[in-house]
Amino acid sequence: MDLLIATTNAGKLAEIAAALKDFPVRILSLRDFPDAPKVIEDGATYEENALKKARTLAAFSGVPALADDSGLEVDALGGVPGIYSARYSGEDADDARNNRKLLDQLAGLPEARRGARFVCVLALSAPQAERLFRAECPGRIGFEPRGANGFGYDPLFFYPPLGRTFGELEREAKSRVSHRGLALQKLRAALPMLPVFAKRP
């Protein structure tokens, strides 16, 4: 069974592919569909954006599609950047510029006021099987980037139970506790219930 992972983010693709390695699916990416339409993420919620991507790309490709929308919500900023996390520093944003802007916005704030959470919503669009899986991971924003692993805001996101940032965690350790890892655990639990994805004997 083919499954299209509707992302151009290599880090997300690797995390999702690793989580689904035990299932009888062949992972496809948008590189396998160079003519795929670019989906404008104009929804008001993670759920709306993820569903729009999954539905659009499943219809285009003819195979089930899994889409992700995720973001970082910072308490001191009223939940910003939220659904705009990827383009926080502008339409031409990249990870480094987004991280610099976030640090600038929080400059002078003590550790106690730097609470944040990562949020992930996965949307699966398949024949007779449309599902949403949401998960959150609480933490706080550090004072400087730490670690070269992960992507996005990972080097700034400090996870107190492990005493490290997501940028300092290896992928396997991160996948056990992260927002995307927890959402993928919910997806893994649901897949055997869907005939199209049921494990073969």
For residue 195, pLDDT beyond 80: no
For residue 156, pLDDT beyond 50: yes
User: Residue 69 catalytic?
Assistant: yes
Residue 176 belongs to domain spanning: 2-197
The predicted model gives 13-41 an average pLDDT of 91
CATH value at residue 28: 3.90.950.10
Nearest Cα residue to 177 out of 124, 115, 135, 122 = 135
For residue 85, pLDDT beyond 70: yes
| pLDDT at position 7 | 87
Tens digit of each residue's pLDDT (9 = 90 or more) over 164-183? 999 999 988 999 999 999 99
For residue 98, pLDDT beyond 80: yes
For residue 201, pLDDT beyond 50: no
Report the number of distinct structural domains present in the chain. Answer: 1
Query: Which residue in 69, 75, 92, 154 is the catalytic one?
Result: 69
| pLDDT at position 146 | 97
Mean pLDDT of the chain: 93
For residue 159, pLDDT beyond 50: yes
| pLDDT at position 200 | 47
Tens digit of each residue's pLDDT (9 = 90 or more) over 102-142? 999 999 999 999 999 999 999 999 887 899 999 999 999 99
**Which stretch of DSSP H or E encloses residue 82?**
strand 81-82
165 contacts: CB under 8 Å, gap ≥ 6: 142, 145, 146, 147, 154, 155, 156, 157, 158, 159
For residue 191, pLDDT beyond 90: no
Peptide bond preceding 110: is omega within 30 degrees of 0, i.e. cis?
no
Q: Which residue has the higher pLDDT, 142 or 196?
A: 142
